[in-house]
Structure formats: C-alpha cells, structure tokens
Amino acid sequence: MKKKFYITTSIAYTNAPPHIGFALELVQADILARYHRILGEDVFFLTGTDEHGQKVVKAAEDAKKSPQEFVDVLSSRFKKLVEVLNLSNDGFIRTTDKKRHWPTVQKIWSKLEEGGDIYIKKYKGFYCFGCEAFIREKDLANGECPVHQTRPELIEEKNYFFRLSRYAKQVKEEIEANKIKVVPGARKNEILSFIEQGIEDISFSRPRKKVQWGIPVLSYIPKVGGIKSTTYVWVDALVNYISGLGGLSFISGVKNKYWPPDVQCIGKDILKFHALIWPAILIAAGLERPKNILVHGFITSGGQKMSKSLGNVIDPFELVKKYGTDAVRYFLLREIPPTEDGDFTYEKFKQRYNADLANGIGNLLARTLTMAEKYWLGIVPKIPQNTPETLSLGKFVTSGWVGNFQESIKEELIKSISSTENFSFNNSLFSVITSVFICDGYIEHHKLYKPAEKLGNKKEKIDAVLYNVLEGIRHIAWILLPFLPETANKIFEQLGLDPEKEKEKTFDETTKWGGLKPGTKFKKSKPLFPKI
C-alpha cells in the first residue's frame, strides 16, 4: 500500500473576500501536497470555508443579504481563489454543509458528553467579537484584545463547557515530545508558555437566542436537561478536518486511511485553537492528533498591516490577472519567510519577478534553446560519452567559483528537497536560482554564446556542454514541479518532453543524468516570463 499524506489549511472565514495572506497558506499547503504526490504517496489535501458566527451575521446584514446568501457568495469566491492559484486540493468543505459537516460536529459533541467532558455552568467573562472567543483577563493588553486592539464585552450567560483543563497536561507533553510538532520552534515555545500559565475549562456554546446562525447543540447530558444553544463557532470550525474526510464513519471506530493529519497549515493568530483546544478535543474523542502544525506569519503591505481603511489590501485575483499564477506563487514562496511575517509591495514584486523569473529561469531556457536550434537544428544528437573531451567538461570556473557541473546541479536538487521537507520553501527556491546561476556560469565558462566560427572545430565539446545545460534545465524543471507546476510543464514541453510522463518517474529516474534522449525534438515557444 502507498504511504498516505493528509494535509489541511485552516478554513477561511467568510465575513470578507479572500486576501493575499490566505493565498500564502493555500500555496504552502499545495506545495507539500504536490511534493508528496511526486514521492508516490497517497495524498489528500483539504481546504474550505468557515461560515458561521456573529461576524458573518453582521457582514450579511451590512450587505442586506441573509446569512446563507452571503456565505454562498463568499464561499464561491474562495473556491475561485483555489482555481486561480492552481491548487491540487482533493476536498473543499463548508461548515454550512448539513449532510457532511453538521452530523460530524454533533457526533463529536455526543462523544465528549459520553466521556463526561461537557457540562453546563453559568459564566461571566470577556468576549471579543473580532476573535469570536472569550479571553482571559490576564491575556488582555491594557484592557484590550491583543489581536484586534478593541475592548471586549463583559458577558454573563449559561453555556456548555468543555473540560479543557483535564487534557492540557497531556497536550503539553505531546508538544514537548514533538508527537505534535509545532513549527517554528518559537510558536512551540509560545503555546507551551501559554499552557504553563494555567488552563481553565472553556465555553463550548452560545445561547441560541443570541447566536442563531450556527449548528444547534443536541445535548445528551442525563438528568441535567439541555439548554437551547448553538455550537461555539471554533468547535464547529475545527471539526472540518474530520468532516472533510467523511468523518462519521471513523468517529464510530472505522479507521480512515488518511487520519491523522500529517501537516496542518495555519496562521499564527489561531495557534491556541489548533495547538491546544483541537488536540484536547481529539484526545477526549479518542482520535489521533496531527503530526505537524505549520504556522505562518502575516503579510504586511509596505510595512503596515493590511486594512480596508488604509486602502492597502492586496487582492490576489488582481495580482494573478496582471502577472500570472506562477509569478504570484513564486513571490509568496520566495520573498515571504515561511514561518515569519513578510512584506508585500509592487516594487518588491516586480524586482523579484524580473531578477529571478524573467532574467533568470526564463532567459536561461530561451538562450539555451536558441543555441540548440543553431547547433542541433532543434533535435538532440547522440552525445559522445566518457571521452577525454567530455569528461573534462564537468569542471568549470566562473566568478571565482570552482565546481563540477553535474554534481553541482544534483547537489542543489538535494538541498531543495531537504528544504521542502523542513518547510523552508524560500530556501528550496533559492536552490533553483542557484542552479540557474550554475547553468549560466557554465555557458560563460565554455563560451557557447560566441559565434560558431570563433569556437573552432570542437563539435564534441559544443555538443557535450550544450547537452549538460539542457539536462540541467530538465533537473530545474523537476525541482519546480511542486512550486510552479505550470512553469515546470512549459519547460518540459519546450524541451520536447511529455510533462505527464516526467511526473510519473521515480525520484531515482528523474535525478539520473541523461533523461534527455537523442532524437528529442525541441518545441521552443514564447518567453516563460516577459520582463516587466
């Protein structure tokens, strides 16, 4: 049986249109899904939309729509973003899905009740409308929510509570032992520090009369009697990772081949929910916990937080429309540190685009195919192997750097793979650009750019050098497959290769030197990335 790999994003909240920050999370998850498919694993990639809660109701009222009409429009926009970013997701879950999601949430609730982990009590606490969460008084910053910089409302109501305090110690131990690996280490320390301060039980519902837009609680508590409640929006949302797999069956004891999640990609603002509350729910329900929680930072715009009032919100749809899907994917992955905050400006975007894509990858392919047409008439000849001339061509010196061409390209391939394994996507793409630099330096060293008559009668040398560069480009395309799938396919096609057949090759087959066979006919096309 194939090794399985289950990856999720958080689900996007449908009170506002998609923004560039969520696009970053989607693309990060897509890289990992595509990468593990290349490794031959059985992958399931889930994303979706979170559609309940008070903020949705307020946004719907402002738009003069019913909540359902409002979320239908917003959810379709997020589905469109998935298409625009060329994601390879296998599932898309909506929390308004009454066939798959609602019964799963209610089943989880009943399991927690059966285990004595849910009870009713009267509660008084600070509630942040922006977070849609109760906040401990000691976590406020000058009386305000540290995330939204607003004063929370003091609320007193009777709710269902979850015995989070019962499971906090076990969650802490699993995070410390990396059974639940939180990446980066700074976020791991953050959640451990939060738990060490002491964990109280948390509200798991809101009164139905106050919050009607959500999943009704079907209480099974004996003797106590139910109170009309709506499932707290965060409990509802977290269960999507189960319902998106068709969760009812394996909650009931039938093993699901994809569970548990291998990687869950989230933003740093929802760390507490995913690294504390979510594992506690799973322990209480008797389910395995996620193996890795990958936490990314925020994207600022010109050093400022994005907001509609400042007019600096970056629309991912407009960006893709203007520059192309792969250009946007490249910037997000190369320029934005995978687990830290990063900044977006159009000036930075254009600089990165021109330097790495237009003048880098695109120019290397175009100039090399132009030479191949000139020397080979567009068809790969039979290349002499292991002659004194060709053996010496591996070594080259450029800009004070000495290396062996084939080994250097393979080394960058290994570095890129290692970086992808460790979620260092920017370093993976740095290896791509380093490979481009190696190819360009190799061309310069052997002076292939000079007219044929000035190169003299060195047919074997020309053939071998040109072949090495083209084979190096084939390796670059393979590195790019998870990151810029459209670009990788275009490179394969221009090299005269079938992209689907290239993707079917094993790791050993694709990294072996000599994948470009004699008789292969090139199909040079328009530039990959026209210069801005």
Give pLDDT tens digits for 285-294. Answer: 999 999 999 9
User: Across residues 134-141, what is the average pLDDT?
Assistant: 76
Residue 223 pLDDT: 47
According to the model, what pLDDT value does residue 123 have? 77
Is the residue at 270 inside a domain?
no
Interhelix angle 278-285/101-114, nearest 10 degrees: 70
* 323-358 pLDDT per residue, tens: 999 999 999 999 999 999 999 999 999 999 999 999
Q: What is the mean pLDDT of residues 516-530?
A: 92
Q: What is the mean pLDDT of residues 248-261?
A: 80
The encoded tokens of residue 314 equal: 């970056």
Q: What is the pLDDT of residue 156?
A: 78
Q: Residue 393: its pLDDT value, please?
A: 53
Joined tokens for residue 502: 């290239």
Q: Are 490 and 449 in contact (CB under 8 A)?
A: no
CA 322 to CA 324: how far, in whole Å?
6
pLDDT in the model for residue 47: 98
What pLDDT was estimated at residue 51? Answer: 96
Which residues are CB-neighbours of 390 under 8 A, at least 6 positions away?
A: 383, 384, 460, 461, 464
Q: Report if residue 116 sits inside a domain.
A: no
**The pLDDT of residue 396:** 57
508 exposure class (CB count in 10 Å sphere: 0-12, 13-18, 19+): exposed
Does 224 score more than 50 pLDDT?
no
pLDDT in the model for residue 206: 87
Task: Give domain status of residue 284, yes or no.
Answer: no
pLDDT at 158: 87
| Mean residue pLDDT across the chain | 89
- Other Cβ atoms closer than 10 A to 402: 9
What are residue 229's DSSP bridge partners? 207
The pLDDT confidence band at residue 221, using thresholds 50, 70 and 90, is low
For residue 407, is it within any domain? yes
Query: Which pLDDT score is estimated for 277?
Result: 97
What integer pLDDT is reported at residue 392 of this predicted model?
52
Q: What is the CATH number for 426?
A: 1.10.730.10
Compute the average pLDDT of residues 479-491.
97
| Contact residues for 255 (Cβ-Cβ < 8 A; gap 6+) | none
The predicted-structure confidence for 359-384, as pLDDT tens digits, reads as follows 999 999 999 999 999 889 999 988 76
Q: Classify residue 59 by its DSSP letter.
A: H
Write the pLDDT tens digit of every residue in 1-28.
Answer: 789 999 999 999 998 899 898 999 999 9
Max distance between CA atoms of the chain, in angstroms, equals 97
Quick check: is 191 in a domain? Answer: no
Contacts (Cβ under 8 Å, ≥6 apart) of 322: none
Residue 65 lies in a domain: no
Residue 373 lies in a domain: yes
Q: With 60 as the cut, is the pLDDT of residue 388 above it?
A: no
Average pLDDT of 437-446? 87
Domain count across the chain = 1
Does residue 286 belong to any structural domain of this protein?
no
Residue 530, pLDDT > 50, answer yes
Per-position b or e across 334-373, b if 16+ CB within 10 A of its CB: bbbebbeebebeeeebbebbeebbbebbbbbbbbbbebbe
The backbone torsions φ and ψ at residue 45, rounded to the nearest 5 degrees and listed phi first, read: -120, 120
Region 191-211: mean pLDDT is 93
Per-residue model confidence as pLDDT tens digits over 68-86: 999 999 999 999 999 999 9
466 is in which domain, residue-wise?
A: 346-511
Query: In percent, how much of the chain has pLDDT > 70?
Result: 90
pLDDT bin (cut points 50, 70, 90) of residue 308 is low
436 or 312, which is more confident: 436
